[in-house]
DNA sequence: GTGGCTGCAAAATGTTTGCACGGAT
DNA sequence: ATCCGTGCAAACATTTTGCAGCCAC
């Protein structure tokens, strides 16, 4: 089953790869796999909660093996996505529910800035 | 200049329209305008800070006439995007900078849940 | 005539889908 | 025989781009 191959590949890649990058990595060892299969399996793995999807504006979705509670920052220069480990802002969901009347199920924050590597240049 | 037409249209639409919807509205009065022009002008207006772009996962970008500080919630049932007026979480940027080493320039939060209208059903 | 804005069509990007096949039950 | 997962190519959705024409200076 290709799903396990895709899953193991994502679990090994710790740099928020896009579907395309996952595909390239999978294809390196299993050249006959098709990109559609990678997409289909990534979608399934996300639905089953085995991996996480990270959407970034103006770019392909990224996939994250790391299911623990964390946020993401994208470097506006190099495009890399880094993890941010930080406690959840307090009462955030409650405040949004009070302000909007919406029953909030989830939320995502994407930070954007210049990463240390790019600052040096 | 078509830019003014696009701008005025966005300023009148208070429901976070997509480029396509803006185009439809513009085209209703100016049938000869092309979709590329709408896209080009939306991009320019965003760069100049006259309107705001709201990216949503799995969907076309939306445009917001409202430049004041606020967040967005998308209803997971009907897809509508609502405004959330709420003070910024305190020290959020500082905490992210401390945790990640990235110089944070901006961030966006997209909440997702069930809106009052959809809750009734 | 130079530069900027436009329409149009084509390209580019990222992702999903229809379909036929092939293996396991 | 049936069902599910797959490869392939085509379709799809959104956005950008190349190019020729036009208008204003």
Q: What is the pLDDT of residues A63-116, one digit of tens each?
A: 999 999 999 999 999 999 999 999 999 899 999 999 999 999 999 999 999 999
- A111–B102: do the CB atoms touch at under 8 Å? yes
* Residues 74 through 113 of chain A touching chain B, CB cutoff 8 Å: 75-76, 82-86, 89-90, 92-93, 95-97, 99-113
Percent of chain B with pLDDT over 70: 100
Q: How far apart are CA A50 and CA A65, in angstroms?
A: 8
Q: How far is CA A101 from the centre of its chain?
A: 28
Taking only the tens place, the pLDDT of each residue in B42-54 is 999 999 999 999 9
Q: How far apart are CA A34 and CA A45, in angstroms?
A: 17
The DSSP string of A9-74 is HHHH--S--BHHHHHHHHHHH-TT--HHHHHHHHHHHHHTTSSEEE--TTS--EEES--SS-EEEE
In the predicted model, what is the mean pLDDT of residues B68-94?
94
Q: How far is CA A44 from the centre of its chain?
A: 14
Contacts of A13 (CB under 8 A, 6+ apart): A21, A22, A25, A63, A65
Q: In chain B, count of helices (H) and strands (E)?
A: 5, 5
A111 HSE (CA, 13 A, CB side): 26
- B99–A86: do the CB atoms touch at under 8 Å? yes
pTM: 0.94
């Amino acid at each position: 089953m290709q799903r396990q191959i895709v899953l193991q590949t994502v679990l090994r890649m710790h740099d928020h790869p896009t579907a395309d990058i996952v595909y390239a990595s999978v294809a390196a060892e299993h050249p006959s796999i098709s990109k559609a299969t990678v997409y289909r399996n990534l979608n399934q793995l996300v639905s089953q909660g085995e991996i996480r999807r990270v959407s970034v504006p103006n770019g392909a979705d990224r996939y994250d093996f790391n299911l623990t509670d964390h946020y993401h920052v994208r470097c506006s220069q190099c495009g890399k996505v880094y993890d941010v480990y930080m406690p959840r802002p307090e009462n955030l969901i409650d405040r949004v529910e009070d302000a909007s009347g919406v029953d909030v199920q989830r939320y995502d924050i994407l930070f954007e800035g210049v990463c240390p590597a790019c600052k040096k240049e």
